[in-house]
Amino acid sequence: MMAGKEQQLELQLVDDGNKLLNPPFSLDELLSILDRVEVMLLRVKQSSYRSVAAALSPLRKALIMRITAPSSPYNDELMKEIFHQIVAVFQKLSHMSSRCYPKVVSLLVTIATTQAVVVLLDIECHALVIETFQIFLKVITPTRSSELDVIFTAVVAIMSVVVLESDEVPMDFLFPLLVCVRKDNKNVSPTSWMLGKEVMKNCAAKIEPYLLKAVCCSGTSVDNYDLVVGSICQNATHYFKSVHAHGSEEHMVSFFGPFIFPYRYSE
């Protein structure tokens, strides 16, 4: 009887795996297959027969993208489309009562764990990185729960690794973070405020050469931001003074650009 159930499971896994290798045109049908596959995979045990492992082969080909492989599994344009779809799914993080919410959280944690978002830097899809940042900062709700802690940790990890793995940190990566850590945002959106702080603290050394420029570009005094901004800018200003003291005017200009630096921030 047990063998019969195992055999039936194997046949269904193979059948649905082959269907997913040639996705149906109907979105409802596709979702139905994915739901069915999820239930079946929960029934697969580590001690299952080798034949079950073989039956999983079509599903592995259809569902598993080897993000961390040396070579990208698809060409750049297809990878961009895949990540556009992933980022669109993150919008649903604000729909906590929806049927798909647990799956969205699972996807988020997977992206954070595998650091898959680094692929966006490799294919120079910076606009999608910025969109991802904006979505995260918008949809994370202030409700306290163990699940929110998981989401918060995953989002911080994703945003931090993007900044840390960037060769140079674009101003457009920093502007959303600066908006979050404005002092007047602490009461308006406390979760995004904390999120911005955590990312900045994680990436302090990386963003130090760029943050003061971003503050100057924002047209807002550093005093209007959380202390973490002042602290990072202070370190940058100390570097500026050190370079100036050694008479390296050429390096000073190239490093800091045409911005005026408020010495009072280092007091």
């650091």: which residue's tokens?
115
Residue 30 structure tokens: 């596709």
Q: What is the pLDDT of residue 50?
A: 75
In a domain, 244, yes or no: no
Q: Residues 6 or more apart from 204 whose CB is under 8 A from it?
A: 228, 231, 232, 235
Domain range enclosing 18: 1-64
HSE on the CB side for 42, CA within 13 Å?
Answer: 6
Residue 106 structure tokens: 């699972």
Instruction: Using the 3D structure, point to which of 132, 167, 202 is the last residue of a domain.
Output: 167
In a domain, 90, yes or no: yes
In a domain, 89, yes or no: yes
Q: What is the pLDDT of residue 22?
A: 86
In a domain, 105, yes or no: yes
Instruction: Using the 3D structure, point to which of 167, 194, 225 is the last residue of a domain.
Output: 167
Indicate if 73 and 19 belong to the same structural domain.
no
User: If you average pLDDT over residues 135-139, what whole number do you get?
Assistant: 89
Indicate if 12 and 78 belong to the same structural domain.
no
Q: What is the pLDDT of residue 90?
A: 94
* Helix and strand totals (H; E) in the chain: 15, 0
Indicate if 36 and 107 belong to the same structural domain.
no
CA distance 204 to 198: 10
The answer to whether residues 163 and 169 touch, using CB atoms and an 8 Å cutoff, is yes
In a domain, 54, yes or no: yes
pTM: 0.76
CA distance 36 to 107: 18
Whole-number percent of the chain with pLDDT over 90: 38
CA distance 263 to 151: 39
Q: What is the pLDDT of residue 259?
A: 36
* Paired strand residues for 182: 225
Q: What is the pLDDT of residue 94?
A: 84
Q: What is the pLDDT of residue 253?
A: 37
CA distance 123 to 128: 11
Q: Can you give the C-alpha Rg of the chain in angstroms?
A: 24
CA distance 129 to 137: 12
Q: 2-26: per-residue pLDDT in tens?
A: 567 788 888 999 999 999 888 776 8
Reply yes or no on whether the pLDDT at 160 is more than 60. Answer: yes
User: If you average pLDDT over residues 115-134, what whole number do you get?
Assistant: 91
Indicate if 53 and 4 belong to the same structural domain.
yes
Indicate if 76 and 147 belong to the same structural domain.
yes
Task: List the Cα angle 129/106/159 in 5-degree steps.
Answer: 25
The whole-chain average pLDDT of the chain stands at 81
- Phi, psi angle pair for 182, to nearest 5°: -65, 140
Number of domains in the chain: 2
HSE on the CB side for 242, CA within 13 Å?
Answer: 7
Reply yes or no on whether the pLDDT at 260 is more than 50. Answer: no
User: If you average pLDDT over residues 25-52, what whole number do you get?
Assistant: 81
- Exposed (0-12), middle (13-18) or buried (19+): which is 226, by Cβ within 10 Å? buried
In a domain, 203, yes or no: no
Q: 178-232: per-residue pLDDT in tens?
A: 999 999 988 888 889 999 999 999 999 999 999 989 999 988 888 999 999 999 9
- Phi, psi angle pair for 259, to nearest 5°: -90, 150
Indicate if 53 and 101 belong to the same structural domain.
no
In a domain, 172, yes or no: no
Indicate if 52 and 111 belong to the same structural domain.
no
Q: What is 197-236 written as a DSSP string? A: HHHHHHTHHHHHHHHHHHHHHHT--GGGB-HHHHHHHHHH
Instruction: Using the 3D structure, point to which of 64, 89, 106 is the last residue of a domain.
Output: 64
In a domain, 238, yes or no: no
CA distances from 259 to 33, 236, 256 (A): 57, 13, 7
